[in-house]
Structure 1
Amino acid sequence: MSLAVSYSAYGGPDVLEIIDVPEPHAGPGQVRVAVRAAGLNAFDYKLRRSPAVMPSHTLPSRQGSEFAGVIDELGDGVTGLAVGDEVLGWAPLTAQAEFVVVNATHVAAKPAGLDWASAGGLYSVGNTALRSTDAVAPTAADTVLVSAAAGGVGILAAQFALRTGATVIGTASEQNHEFLRGLGVIPVAYGPGLVDRLRAAAPQGITAVIDNAGEETVLAALELGVAPARINSVVYFEGADKYGISVVGSGKKTSAELWELARLVASGELVLPIAATYPLAQVREAYERLESRHLRGKVVLLVG
C-alpha cells in the first residue's frame, strides 16, 4: 500500500484525508515516479468545493495535477528514460501521492539546478500562464494588465508578457509591490478605485489583459476601452458569453514545453517563488494557506 490525498465529500480543506491506496505499477509505455514534491493549485480547491466546476467529476476523488520525483519503475516499451532519473510532470487528479504512474510522454528531465519544490509546483501554473499569454498575443507595442500578478499563474504570465517587450502592469496587494517592481512590472493595488489607478499607471492606455482574478478586472478593462478580444480570463468564464472575452486556460501540454519551463526557472530567466512547503501529512494546512489568498508564488507538498 501507499499514501495519497483523497476526499469523499465536497467542502473545505477539512474534507481532505491521507488514505492507503494500492501501490500502483507502470504498464506498457508508462513510468512510475516516487514523488518528492507536488504542487497545489486553485483548481484543486475549486473542484473540491463544488461539483459545478466539473459536472462529470465523481467522488471519492484523488487530488493534484503536477509533481516532481524519481522514476523507480519502467513499463514495457519505454525508451529514453531510466530508473533513477529525476523528472517533473503532470498527472491529473492523482499527483498528491507517494507514487504516480503516468505515460512516459508526461514527464521531462528535471534540471540539476532546480529544487524539488519549484519542480513540483511548476507545470500547471506555467502551462496556464503560457496559454493565457498566447491568447492575447502581446508585443512590444502593448501595455498589458496582469491581474493577481503575484500569484503562481500571474507571476509567470507577467514575465512572459515582459519577454515580448510589452509594458506590464500588475494588480497585487501592497506587500507584493516591491517584488513586482523587481521583475519590471508596474504594481497597482486592486479594490475600489482600480480604474482610476490604472489610468494613472498607464496614461497611454492598456491594450491587453491577462486576468487571473475575476470580474473586477474584466469590468475595469472594458471601462478603459480594452477590446474584448484582447482580454483573456482563466477564472471568469461567464465573461465569454456576457462580454465576448476569451477564456483560454491550460492545454496543449507537452514534455518539451515542460522541460523548457524547467530550464528557464533553473537558470533564473523566470522567477517562481515558493510561498510555503508542507509535508504530505499537513495537506489540510497547506490548502488553508493557499485558500487564504494573497500569496507570492506557489504552495507545495514535500512528499518523499
Structure 2
Amino acid sequence: MPKAYVFTRYGGPETEALVDLDRPRPGPGQLLVAVRAAGVNPVDWKIRGGLRRPGETGERAFPSVLGSEVSGVVEEIGEDVTGFAVGDAVFGNALSGGYAEYAVLSAGLAAPKPAALSFTDAATLPVAAATAYDGVRQLDLPAGATLVVVGAGGGVGVAAVQIARAFGLKAVGVASEAKKDLVESFGAAHVASGPGWTERVRASAPDGIGGVYDLVGGEVFTEAAQLVEDRTKLITAGVSPDEAARLGAARVERARTAAVLRAVADLVVSGDLDPHVTRTYPLEEAGEALRAVEDGHARGKIVIEVAA
C-alpha cells in the first residue's frame, strides 16, 4: 500500500506517523498525482495543531495526511477534467495532503510543470510563492515604488522581495540580522528587525514608501501601519481580517488560480525567482523536515522528495 505521513489527532509532533493508506481516488474535476516532491510550510504544523482554513467546515477525518503543495505526474483523471492527460507533469495544492506517494489535486488549481522547472522547485510554489505573488499584485504599486516586506527572511518574504524586483519595484526587507545576507542576495535592502525598525525602514527609503507587505502580525503589524498614510497600501498575512480592518488594512487576497501558478513558474524559469530550496528530505524523514520548519531554523524552503 502507498505510504503517507499523517497526524492522527490534533496536537504536536507526537500525533504524527508514517503509515500505509489506500491509494486515493480522484473525484469529478480532480487529478490523482504520483507525488515527486512536497513543499513544507508553517501552515502544515498549524493545521496539525487545529487551525482551520478560511471557509473550512466540518470535522477532519483521521488519520489526515500532512502537506499543502506538491508536484508530480498525473496518474488518473476524474470526471469532467479537460486539459490534462495521464503522464503530464503538474504541480498544485494538494486536497488530500501532500506528504504522500499519491495526492489528489483540483484540476482547476493545478498547472503544467514547465520542462525547465524541477519537480523539487515546483513543489515550493503553490503556497509561499503564490501567496507572495498575490500580495504584490494586490498592492498594485507603480514601477519604481518601494515595497517594504516585513518578515522577509521566511518563505513568503523571500519570494515577495524577488517578485517585487521582477515587477520593477524597489524592495526593503525587514528580517533578523542573521538573515541580512539572504535578503540582500535577492536584491533587497535589508533592515534589521527589533526595536526601532520603523525608523530604520524610513531611513532606508528616502524617496518614500509605496506599500508594506506584513508577514509577522502582532505588534509588528501595528507598528508597520505607521509607515504608510494610505492604509490600502498595507496588507498582511499575519493577522485576522478583522484585526487588519481595524487599522484600515487588508488581508492578502489569495487568487488560488492556475494562472497564478503558471505565472510564478514562469518567473522561476526566467531566473527572476529563486525558490531557494536549502534542504530536501525523503518521505521517511518527513517528521524531521516538518521540525526544521516548525522550529523556525529553516533558511529558505524545505522539500520532501517522495520519488525520483
Give the TM-score normalised by the residue count of structure 1.
0.89
Following TM superposition, by how much is the alpha carbon of 1:42 offset from its aligned partner in structure 2, in angstroms?
Answer: 1.6
1:1-304 alignment to 2 at 5 Å?
Answer: 1-51=1-51, 56=57, 58-60=60-62, 61-76=64-79, 78-237=81-240, 239-250=243-254, 252-293=255-296, 295-304=298-307
- What CA distance in whole angstroms lies between the structure 2 residues aligned with 1:196 and 1:77? 55
Counterpart residue type for residue 24 of structure 1: P
Following TM superposition, by how much is the alpha carbon of 1:77 offset from its aligned partner in structure 2, in angstroms?
Answer: 5.2
Q: Are 2:35 and 2:73, in contact at CA under 8 Å, matched by a contact in 1?
A: yes
Counterpart residue type for residue 248 of structure 1: V
RMSD: 2.3
Report the identity percentage.
Answer: 38
Following TM superposition, by how much is the alpha carbon of 1:253 offset from its aligned partner in structure 2, in angstroms?
Answer: 2.1
Q: Are 1:14 and 1:284, in contact at CA under 8 Å, matched by a contact in 2?
A: no
Following TM superposition, by how much is the alpha carbon of 1:233 offset from its aligned partner in structure 2, in angstroms?
Answer: 0.5
Query: Structure 1 residues 28, 48: CA separation in 2 closer, same or farther (over 3 Å shift)?
Result: closer
Give deviations 1:246-304, integer Å, cap 9, x for gaps: 01243x22223312321221331211101221111212211110022253321111112
- What CA distance in whole angstroms lies between the structure 2 residues aligned with 1:59 and 1:28? 20
Counterpart residue type for residue 37 of structure 2: A
Aligned residues: 303
Following TM superposition, by how much is the alpha carbon of 1:205 offset from its aligned partner in structure 2, in angstroms?
Answer: 3.2
Between stretches 53-62 and 185-194, larger displacement belongs to 53-62
- What CA distance in whole angstroms lies between the structure 2 residues aligned with 1:48 and 1:303? 21
- What CA distance in whole angstroms lies between the structure 2 residues aligned with 1:135 and 1:76? 34
Give the TM-score normalised by the residue count of structure 2.
0.88
Following TM superposition, by how much is the alpha carbon of 1:51 offset from its aligned partner in structure 2, in angstroms?
Answer: 4.4
Following TM superposition, by how much is the alpha carbon of 1:19 offset from its aligned partner in structure 2, in angstroms?
Answer: 2.1
Following TM superposition, by how much is the alpha carbon of 1:225 offset from its aligned partner in structure 2, in angstroms?
Answer: 4.3
- What CA distance in whole angstroms lies between the structure 2 residues aligned with 1:241 and 1:141? 27
- What CA distance in whole angstroms lies between the structure 2 residues aligned with 1:74 and 1:241? 42
Query: Structure 1 residues 140, 77: CA separation in 2 closer, same or farther (over 3 Å shift)?
Result: closer
Give deviations 1:95-149, integer Å, cap 9, x for gaps: 2211112343332221222222111111111221122222222212522110121
What residue ranges of structure 1 are gaps of 5+ in the alignment?
none
- What CA distance in whole angstroms lies between the structure 2 residues aligned with 1:162 and 1:291? 29
- What CA distance in whole angstroms lies between the structure 2 residues aligned with 1:204 and 1:29? 49
Following TM superposition, by how much is the alpha carbon of 1:211 offset from its aligned partner in structure 2, in angstroms?
Answer: 0.8
- What CA distance in whole angstroms lies between the structure 1 residues aligned with 2:77 and 2:60? 30
